[in-house]
Structure 1
Amino acid sequence: METKLDLITLLDYIDPSFLDYQEWLNVGMALKHEGYTASDWDEWSRRDVQRYRPGECFKKWTSFEGSGITGATITQMAKDNGWTSPRSQESHELDWNDEISVDEDYRIIDKNWIEGKEIIEPSNWNPVREITRYLETLFQSTEHVGYVTETYQLVDDKTGDTIYKPTSGAYDRTAGQLIEALNKCDGDIGSVLGDYKEEAGAWIRFNPLDGKGVKNDNVSEYRYALVESDNMEIEKQNAILRELELPIAILVHSGKRSLHAIVRVDAANYDEYRKRVDYLYNICKKNGLNVDNQNRNPSRLSRLPGIVRNGKKQFIIDTNIGKTDWDEWHEWIEDLNDDLPDMESLEDFYDNLPDMAPPLIEGILRQGHKMLMAGPSKAGKSFALIELAIGIAEGAKWLGWQCTQGHVLYVNLELDRASALHRFKDVYAALGLQPNNIKNIDIWNLRGKSVPMDKLAPKLIRRAHKKGYIAVIIDPIYKVLTGDENSADQMAHFTNQFDKIATELGSSVIYCHHHSKGTQGNKKSMDRASGSGVFARDPDALIDLVELEITEDLIKQQEGAIASSIYANAIKQVNYDYFDEHVGIDDQQSISQMNTHAKRVLTPDILQQVEDEINRAIQSVRIRSAWRVEGTLREYPKFAPVNMWFQYPVHRVDDVGVLTDIKPEGENPPWKKNFEKKKKSPAEIKKEQNDSLETAFEACTIDGKVTLDSLAEYMGKTDRTVRNRIKNHGGFWIVNGEVGRVPEKQ
């Protein structure tokens, strides 16, 4: 069965001695789920010589029914240990979950072109000198050494050959004690280490032990790792090991078809040892050296030099090869693969400076740079980004800034596809722009498909390559955020993905983020974004939106201005001469006066249409919000704050200056606001109440007769409160619920 063979092959990449108990059980459960036998599990488990117990796999096998652990567990373990699927090398259509991998990463040499390096067997054979040299190279004199000369026999079920397996061996003497005894043995190494079978050879543990055992827990220093490969010519192994500049402390010929390279890893603990060995093995495999994964164990046995095995010598080829230590080698490997540019002298370019990147948003952002828009949830950030996408596509203005025309990608992570498409059309209409260049807008709808940014970035780059985008807009980033947003290093990794997109595509990357909790008016613009300060300091342009506190008087003023404007336009269309002769500037400041003029000029039907339009306009004024745009720029000088209205579904810049003197919400603390309120005199309070009543009366005259109920509804007060306001004002009368203005005395 092909699937079965595949899983058994994958087990070659998984060393049972490196697994904890539960991971070992998971392998058994996965094998049973996929139709394998307990013998398959048992055969693989035998590789963990220290923990293997005959019959244990068969006892546990019957308890694995319905575990839910599948073959995918084994596949993932194998991948973690360097296995790659042959199918990944074939051409196929990429799925959503596919990741782009660059096979050339960490590939330094090509094993197909490297020439083998000859190995010279020692002519003056001296076993004592070989073993002593090995011990002096790897161990300090006081460190305990583990070695094995005794073996037990097994019979290979397939070939019938006798196999010699090492026992636990000895571990009770130090390197100094062994060297002293060897120097006194007169060449009889068996008297020191014990006699060995020439059919089997002898072994030694390359890391020092604590003198109490030979398991991983008994390793006292995680100093070395074993690199061994036996699937290519031994001369080529020698050449690759040297070309890779591995920090090899000692290189030993196994007496058969492999070399044993004892590599310096200098790990502080077991966890670091595992990580460094994984890295080491990965580099070796990338460069054609198919390392035996079973050798990951820090207490692993390696071939002892100075021993003859089936007539073949186990001997030292060389010591201290390659880089001097792990850090030097690791830095060398990373330097060869970091794709960083060379350092430059300013003198070479001072009089011939390169051209600056052209602007994308005039005075705000250059092409190929990054921009963050930050603001609270009700600021309409998504609408603003859609407006920006349209501005770039049409070469129009965005919030008053001119955009360069070009191809733009809008990555939609939040809206369903239909809503996103409708929203673009609605914004086009509200902006009053003709969709002459909608071909310049591409939308990538990923709601329900979003993945972390470090996985999304390569997918985006691959799909966007050669599209010629001058801008990529990602909305919103919380859908692809990875890590703790308050962690500087994690957010630096996150925002680095935007750099990759900008660099690979040569386009600007624009994204939005939310404000932190609480009022923002008393903060600087770059301190308002939620999470780590990386968010504010990473982009080349930070555009921040903060809400302005709109007073009731300003709302009334805006309603009056819009109503008067609509009346004026209607009167002009019907009878411009009347408007020019009878409607003065003062009249245009009063809704009631404009209503009187409209009744004289407009027919009842047209008047009704105009008043319906006014009611809709007033309603839109009531629901709109006011915002101030501030920014922190890296490439351009700081701009003056831009005030604007958000009137669904678009933002409109306040060209008149109505919002100039209004403060953002929360700029003054609550205690100060209350204090300022308490400072008002009774006369000031009465004037505010009278002015509010005057504004309400003027607005209600649109409907003709003004009633107590309409005033109360408009002012948001009770009938009783409005009655008291009318009484205190003195300029209005009220009869049977109707309210009128007291005629001025002649």
Structure 2
Amino acid sequence: MSKFNLVPLLSSIDPDESYATWIQVGMALKLEGYPLSIWEKWSKNGSKYHEGECAKKWNKFGQNDDIPVTGATITQMAKDRGWQPQKSKNIAFDAKLTDDDLIIVDSSYIETDEFKEPSRENWRPIDDTIQFLKTLFRPDEIPCIVVDSFQDKDGKYKPKGQGYYFHTCREIIEKLKDRHNFSEAIGSYDIAAGAWVRINPMDGDGAKNSNVTDYRYTLIESDNLPIEKQIALIKELQLPVATLTYSGGKSVHAIVHIDADTQQEYKERVQRMYQICIRNGLTVDTQNKNPSRLSRLAGCWRDAKWKDKASREIESGKKQFLIDTNIGQPDYESWIQWMEDQSDDLPEFVNYYDIKDNLPPLAPELIEGILRQGHKMLITGPSKAGKSFALIELAIAIAEGKKWFGWQCHEGNVLYINLEIDDASCDARVAAVYDALGITPSGRNNLLIWNLRGKVIPMHQLAPVIIRRAKKLNLKAVIIDPIYKVITGDENAAGDIAKFCNEFDKICRELGVSCIYCHHHSKGAQGLKRSIDRSSGSGVFARDPDAILDMIPLVVSDSKKTPYDEEADRAAGIRSKPTAFRISGTLREFPAFEPVNVWFQYPIHVPDEAGFLNMAMEDGSLADIQAKGREAGNLVKKAKKESRVVQVDTAYEALSIGDEPVTVKAMAEYFDVSERTVKSYIEQNGKYKCGEGKVYRNE
């Protein structure tokens, strides 16, 4: 599967473009693991689609392909047609939506109206031109109109020269009203070519970008969609359109408000508008970015022929006619705000008095007394606490409807996502846990395992894939182990982690599942902290989940008898010594529970039903620190005492001078202790004896 979702990129590619393009898209989608339905849905956007043709081709893909076509082909196609990947930025969470969120239209199901040109009898070209100019330009502004053209080698007519830019909009309109003739007011144009106008007002000294006086509009044009669909998408997106004109060809021309103060702001706003349009299925021509761009002038003929040139009677042709003016939002900023309002995906306000007598039912419990269906749970603990085994035990408990750490689980389908260990090791762990629990897999529900070690992608990319793949699996829980593999941004930054945790909300909401995940403790002793504060990183980890279960090691003295029969363990081939943990919790939906003590005897956790661990100290707690302090002090004293005893030999040799005996007083001064203490050292040493204040070797 490709590392990111290829489906949005398809809106940049025309299925009617060529047979080769159509086939390559299908081959790439199949290779990357997408279903046939995605290719069919995209293909239906074109006029060449035939029912059943996609399925026939799809079944043959991969059989005789010498060179596989991958998702990179679709990415490059999209880039060549104007799509640009959004640059990743490590910035704090912003409550405003990103452009990736501003997708409000499913272009595959947009409703369209029949497109009709006005009849020759009902069309008044001069009125169209006047209305067009009055809408776009202020009276004293200078429009730049181009009537000269030439026919290129490809047979297409194209504008020639800089155009007519010597009169104000007021002056041009007055001429049109007075003479009722386009050619006499502005200049004659070739009816086979049509006429054009620059989309922004000019200064009267030229027709370059530098001559633009107001960065007011951009041109939205798409010539690879049916006319009806172009118009429907423009209206559905509420683009701030000043004028909407039929070009007389394959497209409509929407001159759209950008309302920028500077050329740089114009460039940024145009780029943003184009990308939002593309993401919503309106594949715009990205060559129209410059502010002096030409657009078709309403009120002119195109591809036309004279029946009688003298009488100005036209035999046939296409009309560059004005479809509408001032539709959608009034300006660029209003449009962006409207898009965000449509895209927030938030529910409506609810009046409590409307629902107080018929309150909605609470979500059913998944883990009784701990977690509801559709809610989130975080398990925290130190390294090697068996967190992964605990999650596997939970996955089995849900799949089989068993108890977990003493809490009853309601059975259903569950997906366990392994991000950390290789496939074989993960599968072996599940088998070992089933065996140790004494459970035979019933098969009543699905325990699905997704091994992603070495294939991990960031959570904001992984979440949509989980949702898409699991949509029809009727899951009750998704378990992600561990989350450090998919965290993006700074683990200690509240904004980054808030955005990260929102991905779990999406999974819960879209699939109706409980999302369960684990995270490690921060460095250092945790016993002096509240259980809610022990996870590494931002405090958002503690505030976000509906339930937090924390595992902290317990201090169990080697001298104390454990409830495990060592002889039986050895006979069974169990070599590891059990470790002890206390599980405490912080719950949003349920009352607090008494901490649960468990033994971790590889590969499962076993509740301490005998109560052996009730009085055990938590590792790093105040009692543990004090006990370790006392023990350390006693050890220091013992070592010092033992050192003194050993050093009696050294002191005796150092104080021996000739035949003079060593005195107790001299040895006391040597050690800087009392004579009574020295006598104790000598007695414990065993090689010497005291008498009449002197020290002698034993014979």
Equivalent residue for 2:241?
248
CA shift in 2, pair 1:216/1:452, >3 Å: farther
Structural mapping, 1:615-630, within 5 Å: 620-621=576-577, 624-630=578-584
Change (3 A) 1:295 1:469: same
Is the 8 Å Cα contact of residues 146 and 204 (structure 1) preserved in structure 2? yes
- TM-score, with normalisation over the residues of structure 2? 0.63
Distance 1:419 1:203, change over 3 A: same
Instruction: Tell whether the 8 Å contact from 2:104 to 2:342 is kept in structure 1 after alignment.
Output: no
How do residues 569-648 of structure 1 correspond to structure 2 at under 5 angstroms? 613=570, 620-621=576-577, 624-648=578-602
* 2:170 aligned partner: 179
Letter in 2 for 1:280: C
CA distance, structure 1, for counterparts of residue 535 and residue 630 of structure 2: 34
**Partner AA of 1:137 in structure 2:** T
Stretch moving more, 532-541 or 481-490 = 481-490
Alignment partners' CA distance in 2, 1:210 and 1:486: 54
Residue from 369, 376, 379 that aligns with 1:370: 376
Instruction: Please name the residue that 2:516 is paired with.
Output: 510
Describe how 1:486-501 pairs up with structure 2 within 5 A: 486=492, 488=494, 490-501=496-507
- SS of the aligned residue for 1:352 comes to coil
1:658 counterpart residue number: 613
1:371: how far off?
1.0
Gaps of 5+ in 1: 11-69, 83-101, 568-608, 691-726, 736-746
Instruction: Say which of 546, 555, 558 aligns to 1:556.
Output: 558
Name 2:49's counterpart in structure 1.
none
Q: Distance in 2 between matches of 1:308 and 1:77?
A: 35
User: Partner amino acid for 1:416?
Assistant: D
What code does the residue aligned with 1:119 have? Answer: P
CA distance in 2, matches of 1:731, 1:526: 56
Query: Superposed, which structure 2 residues align to 1:628-707 within 5 Å?
Result: 628-655=582-609, 656=611, 658=613, 660=615, 662-665=617-620, 677=629
Deviation at 1:555, TM superposition (A): 1.9
Q: Which amino acid aligns with 2:559?
A: Q
CA–CA separation in structure 1 for the residues paired with 2:405 and 2:683: 45
Of Structure 1 and Structure 2, the greater helix share is in 1
Query: Structure 1 residue 366: deviation in Å?
Result: 1.2
Structure-2 change in CA distance of 1:667 and 1:566 (3 Å): closer
CA distance in 2, matches of 1:105, 1:215: 38
Change (3 A) 1:169 1:516: farther
Compute the RMSD of aligned alpha carbons.
5.1
Which residue in 1 is equivalent to 2:296? 303
Conserved? CA contact 1:364–1:541, under 8 Å: yes
Q: Is the contact made by 2:143 and 2:201 (CA closer than 8 Å) also made in structure 1? A: yes
* 1:200 match: 193
Distance 2:340 2:512 in 1: 25
CA 1:400 to 1:279, structure 2 compared with 1: closer, same or farther past 3 Å? Answer: same
How far did 1:116 drift? Answer: 3.7
Please tell me whether residue 77 in structure 1 is matched to residue 70 in structure 2.
no
Residue in 1 that maps onto 2:431:
425
Tell me, what secondary structure is at the counterpart of 1:422? helix
Contact 1:144/1:171 (CA < 8 Å) preserved in 2? no
Are 1:105 and 2:99 matched, yes or no? Answer: no
Distance 2:281 2:640 in 1: 82
Matched, 1:138 2:131: no
Corresponding position: 1:477 with 2:431: no
Matched position secondary structure for 2:583: strand
Helix, strand or coil: the match of 1:536? Answer: helix
2:541 is matched with 535
In 2, are the aligned partners of 1:224 and 1:298 still within 8 Å (CA)?
yes
- Structure 2 distance, partners of 1:733, 1:430, is 55
Letter in 2 for 1:630: S
Contact 2:586 2:592 in 1 (8 A): yes
Q: Is the 8 A contact 1:562 1:614 kept in 2?
A: no
Q: Runs of 5+ in structure 2 lacking a partner?
A: 1-14, 23-71, 85-102, 305-313, 643-678, 688-699
CA distance, structure 2, for counterparts of residue 634 and residue 445 of structure 1: 31
Match of 2:650 in 1: none
Asked whether the 8 Å contact 1:135–1:179 carries over to 2, the reply is no
2:272 matches 1:275? yes
Residue 540 of structure 1 and its aligned partner are, at CA, apart by: 1.4
1:301-380 map, 5 Å: 301-305=294-298, 307=300, 309=302, 310=304, 311=314, 314-326=320-332, 341-380=347-386
User: How many matched pairs?
Assistant: 548
Question: Are 1:115 and 2:120 counterparts?
Answer: no
Partner SS, residue 418 of structure 1:
helix
Aligned-pair distance for 1:635? 0.8
SS of the equivalent of 1:155 reads: coil
Distance (Å, rounded) in 1 between the aligned partners of 2:552 and 2:215: 56
**2:584 is aligned with what amino acid?**
E
Provide closer, same or farther for how the CA distance between residues 321 and 677 of structure 1 changes in structure 2, counting only shifts above 3 A: closer
Shift of 1:647: 3.9
Question: Quick one: which of 392, 411, 415 aligns to 1:386?
Answer: 392
Aligned partners of 2:75 and 2:210: how far apart in 1? 26
1:117–1:238 Cα contact (<8 Å) kept: no
Q: Deviations over 1:397-449 (max 9, x none)?
A: 32232323343332222222221222223334444x33253664332333334
Report how far residue 380 of structure 1 moved.
1.9
Tell me the distance in 1 between the aligned counterparts of 2:684 and 2:434: 47
When residues 480 and 168 of structure 1 are mapped into structure 2, their CA distance, relative to the original with a 3 A threshold, is farther
Superposition deviation, residue 463 in structure 1: 4.4
Tell whether the 8 Å contact from 2:363 to 2:373 is kept in structure 1 after alignment: yes
Q: Which amino acid aligns with 2:277?
A: L
> Does the 8 Å CA contact 1:643/1:660 hold for their aligned counterparts?
no
Q: Which residue of 1 aligns with 2:552?
A: 546
TM-score of the pair, normalised by structure 1: 0.60
Structure 1 partner of 2:690: none
What SS does the corresponding residue of 1:420 show, helix, strand or coil?
Answer: helix
- 8 A Cα contact 2:562 2:612, kept in partner: no
1-side partners of 2:139 and 2:414: how far apart?
68
SS at match of 1:447: coil
Counterpart of 1:434 (choices 433, 439, 451) is: 439
